Amino acid sequence: MNKGILAMVTKTDHVRSIMLKKRLRIIVKSVAPLLLYLFFGATSAYAVPFWTTLPPTESLQPVPLTSETVTKLVERLKPAVVNISVTQTVKSGGLPEGFRVPFGDEDFWKRFFGNQEPREFKRKGLGSGIIVSKEGYIVTNNHVVQQANDITVILFQKKQYPAKVIGTDPKTDIALIKIEADEPLAVVPLGDSDLLKEGEAVIAIGNPFGLSETVTAGIVSAKGRVIGAGPYDDFIQTDASINPGNSGGPLLNYHGEVVGINTAISATGQGIGFAVPINLAKEILVQLKEQGKVTRGWLGVSIQEVTPEIAKSFVLKEANGALISDIVPNGPADKAGFKRGDVIVELNGKMVKDYHDLPHMVALIRPGEQASFKVLRSGEEVTLSAIIGEMKDEEGVQGTRDVQKQLGMSLQPVTPEIAKELGMKKSEGVAVTDVEANSSASEAGIQRGDVILEVNQKPVNTLREFHDAVQKAKGSVLFLVYRNGATFYISLQITADQ
């Protein structure tokens, strides 16, 4: 081929390449809403993200870590971070917090203090929020606005607006509220938390202890932290100072993008804060805006970690996947042929690296859709197909919430991370995450942070095991409890209506 023909071919290919790129841009623009619709689920006729993002060319550019960078960033972002003031109605029990009936002699206590009934009173709370759209939508934590009678949003210029709750999701501690402002609103773009790296510099802005517009800086200490806050724990750990009042405020990268929502701190350490990854929030914000709640897929199994010891016992090559410890009768997994002892290693072609991954992966599947699972059973690989159900509140804890409610306490399985935090040698039992005032559990002396190891001298390591053991008990139930490095027994009376 001579040079003229070669030049002609090269030029023609170049023209075709330009035309192809133009066509691709047109196609991408035309199908982008459809792709977003498919990704976020059919929550409305046209479910499209309503927040802003930075152009990829801007968000991927390296940023110099200088004092000038930080000051300019803070100056630009502060107007999009709000203070949230709430008024809540709460119930107070008859006895002061921390006091219990001595030696079980309730009559003795009543003779001196009377039969005090629970009373209601109003309590004020503070938090932070992030303006994500010019229409007035604000992202914050669910625990900031939960059970709030009144919500007031205070802008950067100190102007106040009443806010209404659009949607909440207690499982991820995310809430969406809205104000009707009579002025232009600053917004902050949402980034991609999957791109965060350990050691990356971050900034937190919020309202700690009522000190509005407080800025702190630090780094990403770790990712994927499980702290026992809920079934979808995947927290970003940071040493940027986070305090009460920071909840709901942004954790930002140096591009000025929200990469996390500041949510929790470690009560036993300093410089240990946790933020919900913004990608987890983005998965549900459209649903919160359109329907006020989140619809999730449900498989109907209890799972646990595949430890190296368990992997060896089950003749597994690697300690990966999620081990099924219990199956809800007539649930999607039961109908699909799953068995206790199966290890789920793949879902719809995606590897299940850790048992914490599975609840999140299943939750993202639209109820009614068919999902393909690869499981290991007796060392052999088996493929199963299940029609994903819709998670109801009671199904999220495998139908055990009724017993917990009757006893007046909330429970969750002890993960390795929780065990380490509580100083336990291994992860066993079920942890008490909350105790209701004047309940059977409270009167028996059970406290938040306790771990119930046994029920009537039988070990319990799952909510289902706890539920079944309590259901079999008659008259009273005996708990073996772990607290602050010591174990002891607590007896709890079960009345006829329980």
Q: Kindly state whether residues 276 and 359 are assigned to the same domain.
A: no
236: pLDDT strictly greater than 50: yes
Tell me the DSSP string of 255-275. TS-EEEEEEEE-TT-SS-EEE
Per-residue confidence (pLDDT) for residue 211, from 0 to 100: 86
Catalytic pick among 85, 128, 143, 440: 143
Select the highest-mean-pLDDT range: 35-39, 181-185, 433-437: 181-185
Question: Residue 104's pLDDT band (boundaries 50, 70, 90)?
Answer: very low
In a domain, 10, yes or no: no
In a domain, 14, yes or no: no
Q: Kindly state whether residues 371 and 439 are assigned to the same domain.
A: no
Per-residue confidence (pLDDT) for residue 262, from 0 to 100: 94
Closest C-alpha among 483, 405, 392, 416 to residue 446: 483
Task: Identify whether the C-beta of residue 280 lies closer than 8 Å to the C-beta of residue 269.
Answer: no
Across 394-398, 430-434, 459-463, least confident range = 394-398
Q: Kindly state whether residues 165 and 305 are assigned to the same domain.
A: no
Q: Which position has the higher pLDDT, 423 or 1?
A: 423
Cβ neighbors of 152 (< 8 A, separation 6 or more) are 84, 85, 86, 160, 161, 162, 163
Span 237-270, pLDDT tens digits? 999 988 888 999 999 999 999 999 999 887 776 7
Per-residue confidence (pLDDT) for residue 400, from 0 to 100: 53
Select from 11, 30, 47 the last residue of a domain.
47
In a domain, 2, yes or no: no
Span 139-170, pLDDT tens digits? 999 999 988 889 999 998 889 999 999 999 99
In a domain, 430, yes or no: yes
Q: Kindly state whether residues 358 and 289 are assigned to the same domain.
A: no
Question: Residue 90's pLDDT band (boundaries 50, 70, 90)?
Answer: low
Q: Kindly state whether residues 57 and 91 are assigned to the same domain.
A: yes
Per-residue confidence (pLDDT) for residue 57, from 0 to 100: 78
Question: Residue 6's pLDDT band (boundaries 50, 70, 90)?
Answer: very low
Give the DSSP H/E element, type plus range, for residue 22.
helix 3-40
In a domain, 285, yes or no: yes
17: pLDDT strictly greater than 70: no
- Say how many domains are in the chain: 4
Cβ neighbors of 173 (< 8 A, separation 6 or more) are 141, 142, 143, 229, 230, 263, 276
Q: Kindly state whether residues 127 and 204 are assigned to the same domain.
A: yes
Q: Kindly state whether residues 366 and 454 are assigned to the same domain.
A: no
> Using CA atoms, how far apart are residues 150 and 253, in angstroms rounded to an integer?
32
Across 96-105, 428-437, 462-471, least confident range = 96-105
Which range marks the domain in which residue 42 is found?
Answer: 20-47
CATH number at 313 reads 2.30.42.10
Per-residue confidence (pLDDT) for residue 219, from 0 to 100: 95
Closest C-alpha among 205, 219, 285, 279 to residue 247: 205
Q: Kindly state whether residues 258 and 346 are assigned to the same domain.
A: no
Cβ neighbors of 447 (< 8 A, separation 6 or more) are 432, 435, 483
In a domain, 439, yes or no: yes
12: pLDDT strictly greater than 60: no
Residue 173 appears among annotated catalytic residues:
yes
What is the bridge-based pairing of β-strands 350-351 and 370-377?
Answer: unpaired
Select from 368, 390, 412 the last residue of a domain.
390
Per-residue confidence (pLDDT) for residue 91, from 0 to 100: 58
113: pLDDT strictly greater than 90: no
What does the mean pLDDT of the chain come to?
Answer: 80
Task: Identify whether the C-beta of residue 286 lies closer than 8 Å to the C-beta of residue 311.
Answer: no
Cβ neighbors of 196 (< 8 A, separation 6 or more) are 220, 223, 236, 253, 259, 277
Per-residue confidence (pLDDT) for residue 321, from 0 to 100: 92
Q: Kindly state whether residues 281 and 340 are assigned to the same domain.
A: no
Per-residue confidence (pLDDT) for residue 245, from 0 to 100: 87
Structure tokens at 439: 């309940």
Q: Kindly state whether residues 379 and 301 are assigned to the same domain.
A: yes
What is the bridge-based pairing of β-strands 201-206 and 148-154?
Answer: unpaired
Q: Which position has the higher pLDDT, 59 or 32?
A: 59
Q: Which position has the higher pLDDT, 305 or 289?
A: 289
Span 316-355, pLDDT tens digits? 888 889 999 888 889 999 999 999 889 999 999 999 988 8
Per-residue confidence (pLDDT) for residue 24, from 0 to 100: 38
Task: Identify whether the C-beta of residue 335 lies closer than 8 Å to the C-beta of residue 387.
Answer: yes
Helices (H) and strands (E) in the chain, counts: 13, 26
State the sign of the Cα–Cα–Cα–Cα dihedral 102, 108, 112, 117.
positive
- CA 123 to chain centroid: 25
**Alpha-carbon distance values, 155 to 177, 186, 187, 362 (Å):** 14, 10, 12, 38
> Using CA atoms, how far apart are residues 86 and 138, in angstroms rounded to an integer?
15
Per-residue confidence (pLDDT) for residue 13, from 0 to 100: 39
Closest C-alpha among 332, 386, 259, 369 to residue 38: 369
Percent residues over pLDDT 70 in the chain: 81
Q: Kindly state whether residues 287 and 334 are assigned to the same domain.
A: no
Catalytic pick among 85, 128, 169, 173: 173
Closest C-alpha among 130, 141, 129 to residue 263: 141
Q: Kindly state whether residues 276 and 138 are assigned to the same domain.
A: yes
- CA 446 to chain centroid: 26
Per-residue confidence (pLDDT) for residue 28, from 0 to 100: 38
206: pLDDT strictly greater than 60: yes
In a domain, 415, yes or no: yes
β-sheet bridge partners, residue 222: 237
Q: Return the axis-axis angle of helices 278-291 and 3-40, rounded to nearest 10°.
A: 60
Tell me the DSSP string of 305-354. E--HHHHHHTT-SSS-SEEEEEE-TTSHHHHHT--TT-EEEEETTEE--S
Residue 175 sits at the vertex; the CA angle it makes with 172 and 177, to the nearest 5 degrees, is 170
Select from 362, 390, 418 the last residue of a domain.
390
Cβ neighbors of 202 (< 8 A, separation 6 or more) are 217, 218, 219, 220, 238, 240, 251, 252, 253, 254, 259, 260
Question: Residue 47's pLDDT band (boundaries 50, 70, 90)?
Answer: low
CATH number at 270 reads 2.40.10.120
The whole-number average pLDDT for the span 213-219 is: 92
Catalytic pick among 247, 302, 427, 440: 247
Question: Residue 185's pLDDT band (boundaries 50, 70, 90)?
Answer: very high
Per-residue confidence (pLDDT) for residue 26, from 0 to 100: 37
363: pLDDT strictly greater than 70: yes
Q: Which position has the higher pLDDT, 46 or 425?
A: 425
Torsion over CA of 479, 481, 486 and 489, rounded to 10 degrees?
Answer: -20
Residue 247 appears among annotated catalytic residues:
yes
| Amino acid letter for position 86 | V
The whole-number average pLDDT for the span 51-63 is: 82
The whole-number average pLDDT for the span 220-229 is: 86
Question: Residue 75's pLDDT band (boundaries 50, 70, 90)?
Answer: very high
In a domain, 358, yes or no: yes
Question: Residue 410's pLDDT band (boundaries 50, 70, 90)?
Answer: confident
Span 429-449, pLDDT tens digits? 998 888 888 888 888 899 988
Per-residue confidence (pLDDT) for residue 121, from 0 to 100: 64
